Amino acid sequence: MFHQLATLDRLDQRFGRTVVALVCAGFLAVLLAGAVAAYVMGRSEEQTDWVNHTFEVERHAGAIRLALEELRSARRGELLGLQGSSGASYAQAWAHPMAEIDTVARLTRDNPRQQAQLAEMHRRAQTLDRLMRSSGHGGVAGTAIGEPVRQQAAQAVEESAERVLSLEQGLLRVRIAKQGELVAIFYLVLAVAGTLLLGVAFASIMVILRYTRDLTRTRDDLRTLNANLESLVGERTQDLQRANDEIQRFAYIVSHDLRAPLVNVMGFTAELEASLKSLEGLLDEVERDTPALVGAGTGAEARDAVRLDLPEAIGFIRTSTHKMDRLINAILRLSREGRRTITPEPVMLAPLLVGVVDGIRHLVDERGAQVTIAQPMPTIVSDRLALEQILSNLIENALKYLSPARPGDIRISARQERGRTVIAVADNGRGIDPRDHERVFELFRRSGAQDQPGEGIGLAHVRALAYRLGGTIRVESALDQGATFLVDLPNQFSSEKDAVT
Amino acid sequence: MTRDQPVNIVMIEDDEGHARLIERNIRRAGIRNEIHHFLDGGRALQFLFEDPRGPALNGPSLVLLDLNLPDMSGLDILARIKADASPLKRTPVVVLTTTDDRQEIQRCYDMGCNVYITKPVNYESFADAIRQLGLFLSVIQVPEPEA
């Protein structure tokens, strides 16, 4: 039972610890996943910004090429005198690519390689511009000679733009790859956290299942144990009951069988006494008629035998058999008391005690003692007759062993606590030596000066009755300090048989 | 008690002392009828039912029965005497024993015992009781056994 309880405690502790650890692990996993997700999201956003930036750069770089085309067509238009066909003069067209170059330069300020490229492009654009402008104002000859040079310059600017574009595209690839990596990391972390969570959940479920299983097993064990315990108690009670019954029967048989020979001893002693009477008559006659016959020798011995020895022997046999008779009767009474069925009923102690004291009023008056019954007295459910016997025995005992030094004062009180009633019979008599406190309750044992009649049965009887009522009795006393007998009884008598079932 | 045939007293008592004391005190009461004493149940039954001088075959009788016998319970003898087919079922049986157990007494009467007497331990009362039993025996009528 205790082992089982200890197991339960250990189970609880282990279960608590494991569950806390698992919950912590779960929280950690979720926290980790959240942190990583936040980090990855941040990085990803950054990368998206960069990608967008790259697209912007690309757009503007593309715009440079378009602007250059526009520039060339504007120039061609100007040369052919088709002013207004493209809607813009060369000077206007020129501002456009330059603005785009500046924008790209501004956008790629963090990239030294692009800056270098752009500076180169700027330079080449300036060269182109110079060539264009010079051709525009230099006439047809200039135009014819300058055309391949201008083509070259324009080519150079375009190449620059191309290079800027390709650089930016390279960057874009790197950035997209990086973003992909981040997404991959994000998914990986998610997967790891998910796995972790799944693991925690699985472990939790396993732990709970195991705990529940252990709990169920322990509970089953406890239940079996409990059932066993109950049947064990039942068996023991039955054993005790049987042993008790056996002792009762034994005492009964023994006392009966002891009585049979005793009847003979007493009977033939009586016969002997009757025979002795006739012998005494004969002796009287002889003494009167022929005194010489019993004066000396065998005659004198015979006279002594008839007059002294035989009566003395018969006297001893008689007192002994009487005593034995009383003892046997005592055993018989005890055993009969043990066989009597207890009939519990509500008993008001106050009227019961008044009845008991009235029953021995003559003794109380004879001893000149005072008996006080403290009020109030409780009511208990018990056997009335047994209670009467217990209390009258105790009060009689108190009266019997009063101290000659002071007037007898006997106080009876009762208190109830925790389902039990303790009845105290206190006297101011001669008291009992603490060494004899146990002895006085034993059969045929007495204590102190043996100046009162009795066989040492009363208290043994009282104790047997108290036990039968499911109670106990003890004494508190010191020599010449009075004695208090405490009878401890259940408020509600329940028979052993009820207790078993 | 005496009519045509004297009534025999059959005493079944395992304690010789008791038997002697009972006999003496019955005699003191003036009873002169023959007393057949048996120390055990077996021989007593044999005498009761089979002996030519026994009550079943020879005249009326009265049984003094002790319950504690060495070879059987006095109750068995009582049952045999009071059985329906027994020729002795009307024979008076006086149970004279040490037991004063109420159940035991009831059982004896249920089985047809006519008088139940507990042997007093005190000898004077014992002697007194037996003498009174003797006086009682001297006035009661005993039926003939059934043929």
Per-residue CA distances from A6 to A14, A66, A217, B41 (Å): 12, 88, 14, 66
The amino acid present at A355, given as its one-letter code, is G
The amino acid present at A344, given as its one-letter code, is P
The amino acid present at A155, given as its one-letter code, is Q
Say if residues A398 and A410 touch (Cβ distance below 8 Å).
yes
Tell me which residue in B24, B68, B123 faces A263 most closely, judged by beta carbons.
Answer: B123
Judged by DSSP in three states, B10 sits in strand
What pLDDT does residue B106 have? 92
- Rounded to whole angstroms, the Cα distance separating A147 from A138 reads 12
Chain B residue with Cα closest to A339: B101
Say if residues A151 and A134 touch (Cβ distance below 8 Å).
no
Kindly report, residue by residue over B80-111, the tens digit of the pLDDT. 999 988 888 888 899 988 777 788 899 999 99
Is A480 a residue whose pLDDT tops 90?
no
- The nearest CA of chain A is from the CA of B57 a distance in Å of 33
Chain B residue with Cα closest to A263: B121
Say if residues A22 and A200 touch (Cβ distance below 8 Å).
yes
Question: Which letter, b or e, does each residue of B35-52 get, where b requires 16 or more Cβ atoms within 10 Å of its Cβ?
Answer: bbbbbebeebbebbbeee
Q: Domain-by-domain residue ranges, chain A? A: 2-219, 247-335, 342-500
- Rounded to whole angstroms, the Cα distance separating A353 from A411 reads 11
Nearest to B111 by CA among B101, B103, B119: B103
**Predicted confidence band of residue A499 (pLDDT cuts 50, 70, 90):** very low
**Predicted confidence band of residue A143 (pLDDT cuts 50, 70, 90):** low
Is A448 a residue whose pLDDT tops 80?
no
Say if residues A349 and A414 touch (Cβ distance below 8 Å).
yes
CATH number of the structural domain A342-500: 3.30.565.10
Kindly report, residue by residue over A190-201, the tens digit of the pLDDT. 888 888 888 888
What pLDDT does residue A435 have? 85
Higher pLDDT among residues B9 and A154, named by residue: B9
Say whether B99 and A329 touch across the interface (CB within 8 A): no
Higher pLDDT among residues A336 and B44, named by residue: B44
Higher pLDDT among residues A147 and A353, named by residue: A353
Residues of B in contact with A266 (CB under 8 A): 121-123, 126
Q: Above pLDDT 70, what percent of chain A?
A: 93
- Rounded to whole angstroms, the Cα distance separating A73 from A83 reads 11
Give one DSSP letter per residue of A288-346, joined into a string: HH-GGGGTSHHHHHHHHIIIIIHHHHHHHHHHHHHHHHHHHHHHHHHHHHHHSPP-EEE
**Predicted confidence band of residue A141 (pLDDT cuts 50, 70, 90):** very low
What pLDDT does residue A242 have? 86
Q: Does B98 touch chain A (CB under 8 A)?
A: yes
- Rounded to whole angstroms, the Cα distance separating A483 from A461 reads 18
The arithmetic mean of pLDDT across residues A205-221, rounded, is 88
Judged by DSSP in three states, A225 sits in helix
Q: Residue A473 corresponds to which tokens in the numbers above? A: 């009795």
Judged by DSSP in three states, B32 sits in coil
Residues of A in contact with B122 (CB under 8 A): 266, 325
- Rounded to whole angstroms, the Cα distance separating A260 from A87 reads 158
Nearest to B48 by CA among B93, B81, B23, B13: B81
Per-residue CA distances from A500 to A225, A228, A233, A235 (Å): 17, 13, 8, 9
Q: What number of C-beta contacts closer than 8 Å exist between A and B? A: 51
Chain A residue with Cα closest to B102: A336
Nearest to B68 by CA among B91, B35, B101: B101
What pLDDT does residue B5 have? 67
Kindly report, residue by residue over A214-248, the tens digit of the pLDDT. 889 988 989 888 888 888 888 888 888 888 788 77
What pLDDT does residue A139 have? 45
Q: Does B136 touch chain A (CB under 8 A)?
A: no
**Predicted confidence band of residue A14 (pLDDT cuts 50, 70, 90):** confident
Give one DSSP letter per residue of A435-462, joined into a string: GGTTGGGSTT---S---S---S-HHHHH
Judged by DSSP in three states, A422 sits in strand
Say if residues A344 and A497 touch (Cβ distance below 8 Å).
no
Q: Does A268 touch chain B (CB under 8 A)?
A: yes
Residues of A in contact with B119 (CB under 8 A): 259-260, 263
What pLDDT does residue B101 have? 78
- Rounded to whole angstroms, the Cα distance separating B44 from B46 reads 5
Kindly report, residue by residue over A263-316, the tens digit of the pLDDT. 888 888 988 998 999 999 998 998 888 888 877 788 888 888 888 889 999 999
Higher pLDDT among residues A72 and A398, named by residue: A398
Q: Above pLDDT 70, what percent of chain B?
A: 93
Q: Residue A386 corresponds to which tokens in the numbers above? A: 């047994």
Residues of A in contact with B24 (CB under 8 A): 271
**Predicted confidence band of residue A135 (pLDDT cuts 50, 70, 90):** low
The arithmetic mean of pLDDT across residues A156-166, rounded, is 81
Is B12 a residue whose pLDDT tops 90?
yes
Q: Does A325 touch chain B (CB under 8 A)?
A: yes
- Rounded to whole angstroms, the Cα distance separating A9 from A428 reads 55
Cβ neighbors of A117 (< 8 A, separation 6 or more) are: A160, A163, A164, A167
Kindly report, residue by residue over A94-126, the tens digit of the pLDDT. 777 788 888 888 888 888 888 888 888 888 888
Kindly report, residue by residue over A373-398, the tens digit of the pLDDT. 988 889 999 999 899 999 999 999 89
Say if residues A128 and A154 touch (Cβ distance below 8 Å).
yes
**Predicted confidence band of residue A411 (pLDDT cuts 50, 70, 90):** very high
Residues pairing with B61 in the sheet? B8
Tell me which residue in A257, A268, A329 faces B17 most closely, judged by beta carbons.
Answer: A268
Fold of B8-139: Rossmann fold (3.40.50)
What pLDDT does residue B136 have? 81
